Amino acid sequence: MLTEDKGGVEIRLVSQDNGFNFNSVAVNPLRIDPRYSLSIQTIGRIERLAKVRFVTAETTPSFDPAKFDKNDEDTRRSIALSVFASSEIEGEGISADYIETFVTAHTEPGEMVDAELRERIQTHRDIYDTYFWALNSQPEQVLTYDFIIEAHRRMFKNTMGQVAGRIKDKEVRIHWHRRDGLLVDVPTISSEQAEEFLRSLCDRTARIFMIAKESAETSMLLSSAEFACDFLAIHPFLDGNGRLARLLSTYLLEKGGYHFARVYPLDQIVMDSRADYYETLNASQQYWHLPQEDLTPWINYFVGAVFEQWERAFRRIRNQAAYAKESSKNKLYTKSY
């Protein structure tokens, strides 16, 4: 049995006979029954975000809904922060200085950098590049199985070897410590069922996004939240599922018109509230395979996190606008004088 410590979260690979097998007949990610209830606060946030989702990004000078500009300084900085925060959540972060020097600029570390740090820099660089690849993709169907496989391959091609972009071939159980110190055991879908469930999840998500374009009654934000919870319950890869799930969440939100990642990353919100992130995820996955399934804790957390992302993005844009206005006034004053 192989155990990896991921910043308080242990990923355990277990033998086949100890794996947790879900009943693929009784459980299918395509189910569309109500799986959660929405609080008044969450409903209010969803309605507010639906009104402002396009407006925020359009206030930035280089905004193009079809393009994630790698040359735009704000976008580049936001994605770099996203990569840093996502890896920090997994306990594998590197300093912001390294991100700026070696990842965004693609410069090579010197001989004084040890092998472990060099590998982390490479991982961060690959994830950074994958963000831009994914966010600039324009597939006919918003999400496909092949897209996810390719995203994982790109993210970990230099650090996972042949398992990058390959569905897990061993059973995986996740163990993590709650705030009260209790060790929580979280089963995941068996390796035999992982591909089937992932394909089904992609089809469901793409279908909901297509419906949402025509109907205000269907929320792409809620579909993105459901996707993240289901994806992590399936846990299709041996490693890297958390970072890929957060990348795909950003991708789905971007495709849904929630363009806040261009200004402020969702991963930073998750890092700032990681205890709530893990606890609401675990609470919602506890009965994921049973009739009493209830995703309410996770849905409320996810919507709240995106709402906080929008608020921080809006404050950043407002502060930048105020700074630019003040600078312009100073220039005019100096010229007049």
Task: Flag whether 276 is marked binding.
Answer: no
Spatial separation of the C-alpha atoms in residues 98 and 40, rounded to whole Å: 43
Q: What are phi and psi of 175, to 5 degrees?
A: -125, 130
- C-alpha dist (Å) from residue 234 to 57, 83, 184, 194: 33, 23, 17, 6
On whether 125 is known to bind a ligand per the annotation, the reply is no
81 is in an annotated binding site: no
Q: Tell me the C-alpha distance between 206 and 141, whole Å.
A: 6
Distances (CA, A) of 227 to 43, 45, 154, 231, 250: 19, 19, 21, 6, 12
Cα–Cα distance for residue pair 216/50, rounded to 1 Å: 9
**Maximum CA pair distance of the chain?**
82
Of the candidates 232, 252, 244, the residue with the CA atom closest to the CA atom of residue 306: 252
267 assigned ligand-binding residue: no
Q: Given 124, 152, 235, 259, which residue is catalytic?
A: 235
Length of the chain, in residues:
337
Amino acid letter, residue 201: L
**Which residues contact residue 270 at a Cβ distance below 8 angstroms, ignoring those fewer than 6 apart?**
85, 86, 89, 246, 277, 305
For residue 286, the one-letter residue type is: Q
Residue 165 among known ligand-binding residues: no
> Is 175 assigned a catalytic role?
no
176: β partners = 9, 184
Neighbours of 41 (CB within 10 A): 12
The answer to whether the annotation marks 277 as part of a ligand binding site is yes
8 labelled ligand-binding = no
Binding annotation for ATP = 239-246, 277-278
Active site residues per annotation: 235
Annotation: binding site: 239-246, 277-278
